[in-house]
Amino acid sequence: MVAEPVTNAEAAVRARGVSRPWRLIAGAFLAGSLLVGLGVGPVGIDVGGIVGSGLAHIPFLHVHNPLSTLDDAVLWQIRAPRVVLAALVGGMLAVAGSSYQGVFRNPLADPYLLGVAAGSGLGATLAIAYGHVGRTGWLLPLAAFVGGLAAVAGTYVLGRSAGPARAARSLVLAGVTVTLFLTAIQTFVQQQHSDTLRDVYAWLLGGFSTATWGQVAVAAPYVAVSSTAIVLHRRLLDVLSVGDEEAASLGVDVPRLRLLLVVAATAGTAAAVAVSGLIAFVGIIVPHTIRLLVSTSYRAVVPLSLVVGAGFLVLADVLARTVVSPAELPIGVVTAFFGAPFFAIVLRTSRSMR
C-alpha cells in the first residue's frame, strides 16, 4: 500500500535520452549511408559484394571473394578510406557543433565559432603559398591543424580578459575578432600569391577526393577522443542550459567545464578541417534537425549528432562525386544546397507537430 505510489512516482521521473526506436533509426541511417557510399560510383558494387569482400579480407575465415581484383582495390583502396573519412569528419563536426551550442547557449554556434576555420585557412594558405606543398602529403593538414588550434587559443586568451561575468559572450566576440583578423591576413597572402589561388580555393571548399587510409589514421584518434569526451558530458550540457550562475550554484565548475568542452570540440574540429577543408552547415544543421525531430535534451542531441552527422556527410560526399561525374562538386556546396531546404522542411513540419 505504502510502497506502491513511491515506485509509480519514481517511474514518472526520467530524463528523455535516446529512445529505442530512434537508436535503431539512427543506426540504420548510418549503416545505409556507409553501404551507399561504398557501393555507388563509376563501378557499382552491390551489398553482397561489399559484405563478401569484407569477409574475405578477414584472415582464417576462408570466404571466397566475389569481387574481381580491380573492383576489390576500388572498394578498399579508393572508396573505403573516403567513406570512413567522411563519416569521421561528419560525426565530429556535428558533435562539436552541438557542444558549442550548449556551451555558449547559442543556437547559431557552429564548430567554427571560435576561429578554427580562419586559423586553419590561414595555416593552409601559408603552407601552400610559402611551403609550396601540394594538396596531398602531410604538411598541409599539419599546417591547418596548428593554425586552427593557435587561433582558438588566441580567442581564449583574448576572451578571458573580459572577466568571468560575461565569459561566454566575450569568448564569442573574441572569436569574431580573431576570425576577421586572420581572414584579413589570409586574403592578403592569397592576393600576393595569386598563382596559388586554385590550390587554396580547392582546399577551402573542402572535400574528400584525396582521402587515404593515412588521413583516416591521422584524424581518427582526435575524433575518437574528442567525441567521446563530449558524449560523456551530455548531462552537464543540460545543466549549463540554466545559465552559468545557476549551474555554478548546482555545484558545477563552469569555467573549467567550458574550457574542457571547448578544447575537446576544437581539437576534433581542427583535425577534421585539416583532412577535409572547411565544410559548412553540418555542425548546425544536424544538431538542429535532431532537436526538432527527437528532443532538445543534450542527452539525445549529442550522441545522435555523432551518428547522424557521420551518415549525412557520407551521403553528401556520394552526391559530390556523382552529380557531375567524372568531375566533383565541392562538398560544402552539396551540404548547403541540400541541407538548407531540408532544414526548412523540418522547421515547418515540426511546428505543426507540436
108 binds other proteins (CB under 8 A): no
Binding mask 286-325 for other proteins (x = CB under 8 A): ----------xx----------------------------
Residues for the chain: how many in total?
Answer: 354
Given a contact cutoff of 8 angstroms between Cβ atoms, the answer to whether 308 and 289 are in contact is: yes
Instruction: For the CB of residue 243, give the shortest distance to other proteins in the complex, in Å.
Output: 4
352 binds other proteins (CB under 8 A): no
Instruction: For the CB of residue 221, give the shortest distance to other proteins in the complex, in Å.
Output: 20
Contacts of residue 230, Cβ cutoff 8 Å, sequence gap at least 6: 95, 96, 98, 99, 261, 264, 265, 268, 302
Among positions 227-256, residues that touch other proteins (CB under 8 A) are 232-233, 235-236, 238-239, 241-243, 245-253
CB of 15 or CB of 324, closer to other proteins = 15
3-state DSSP call for residue 324?
Answer: coil
Take residue 296 and report the three cell numbers written for it. 532538445
19 binds other proteins (CB under 8 A): no
Q: How many residues bind other proteins (CB under 8 A)?
A: 29
136 binds other proteins (CB under 8 A): no
Among positions 69-98, residues that touch other proteins (CB under 8 A) are none
Instruction: For the CB of residue 105, give the shortest distance to other proteins in the complex, in Å.
Output: 9
Residue from 129, 274, 117, 116 nearest 188 by CA: 129
351 binds other proteins (CB under 8 A): no
Contacts of residue 285, Cβ cutoff 8 Å, sequence gap at least 6: 312, 335, 339, 340, 342, 343
d(CA 84, CA 311) in angstroms, rounded, equals 10
2 binds other proteins (CB under 8 A): no
C-alpha pair distances (Å), 37 with each of 30, 52, 261, 286: 10, 16, 31, 19
Task: State the DSSP code for 64.
Answer: P
13 binds other proteins (CB under 8 A): yes
d(CA 51, CA 215) in angstroms, rounded, equals 24
Other CB atoms within 10 Å distance of the CB of residue 10:
9
Contact with other proteins (CB under 8 A) among 6, 61, 70, 327 = 6
215 binds other proteins (CB under 8 A): no
Q: Write the DSSP string, 292-314.
A: HHT-SSHHHHHHHHHHHHHHHHH
CB of 22 or CB of 112, closer to other proteins = 22
CB of 249 or CB of 325, closer to other proteins = 249
Instruction: For the CB of residue 324, give the shortest distance to other proteins in the complex, in Å.
Output: 41
- For helices 116-131 and 254-276, the axis angle rounded to 10 degrees is 40
- Tell me the window of 10-18, 152-160, 207-215, 313-321 that interacts with other proteins (CB under 8 A): 10-18
The residue type found at 255 is P
CB of 44 or CB of 163, closer to other proteins = 163
Q: By CB under 8 A, name the binding residues for other proteins.
A: 5-6, 9-10, 12-16, 232-233, 235-236, 238-239, 241-243, 245-253, 296-297
